[in-house]
Amino acid sequence: MRSVFAFLLLFGILGLGGCATVQGPQQVSVNNDPLQPVNEPIFHANLWLFRNVLDPVSKGYQAVTPQFFRTGVANVFANADMPYVFANDFLQGRVQRGMEGLSRFLVNTIFGLGGLIDVAHNLDLPEQSNNFGVTLGVWGVPQGPYLVLPFYGPSSLRNLPGLALAIFVSPPYYFSSSNAQWAWSGMGVINTGYVDGPKIKMVEDAVNPYIFARNAWEQHEQYLIDGGKVSKNQLLEGLDLPPPTAPTTSAQ
């Protein structure tokens, strides 16, 4: 039943790791987080699930599989995400990026055995990140309240429609076999733990993991909305440098 699969795929995505793609400052952005009293317990529950479920499974996965197998699986899942990525590039009016994403998908699908081998990387077609929330942001839709979703992680009111869209454009949604859907979703959870585990652990090691994850996620979303451009202020914030002091004049 596809409604059941939609829930399982949403669980399988486990976007916790996406919160730590860039280092954000430790300051609190209160205006975008009026739901912090609800968000923070969910955030810590997600971390508990990572430590006690996903991380042990990931370690077992690494213990029983060779590196080339894990790399191939990660490549397949990354390639399966590409239609959603380049579709949003086109929706944002970024035609060149969309064509690069489409080219990457076709090259890896045809010459990389369905994405098992990342052939496109050697052709200067790197992996990209994108989502429908970014598309709405490009066209001026405000972020709205910051949200932490159970089993998923950082998101926002603007990003909620994109979660449904990601399900409907994902290849396994069209699998006719429920067993294949279960297998894909389960393998997606394991692969997420393997790929994003180090990033999640980086969040855990932060002075304030919740604030770090929130600010990192918001900065990464803005980075994508701006087309991959990083301002000087963002660079300084990412380094978490002390505020500049006024220059002093030397005594005459």
212-237 pLDDT, tens digit each: 999 999 999 999 999 876 554 444 44
Q: How many domains is the chain built from?
A: 1
As a whole number of angstroms, the distance between CA 18 and CA 11 comes to 14
pLDDT at 51: 94
pLDDT tens-digit series, residues 23-43: 333 343 456 799 999 999 999
Residue 173 in any domain: the answer is yes
Residue 130 in any domain: the answer is yes
Residue 211 in any domain: the answer is yes
Q: Where are the alpha helices (DSSP H) in the chain?
A: 2-13, 36-49, 55-64, 67-91, 95-111, 132-138, 160-169, 178-204, 209-225, 232-239
Q: How confident is the model at residue 176 (pLDDT cuts 50, 70, 90)?
A: confident
Residue 175 in any domain: the answer is yes
- The yes-or-no verdict on residue 251 having pLDDT over 80 is no
pLDDT tens-digit series, residues 54-108: 999 999 999 999 999 999 999 999 999 999 999 999 999 999 999 999 999 999 9
pLDDT at 240: 44
As a whole number of angstroms, the distance between CA 32 and CA 24 comes to 15
User: What is the extent of the structural domain holding 202?
Assistant: 2-12+33-229
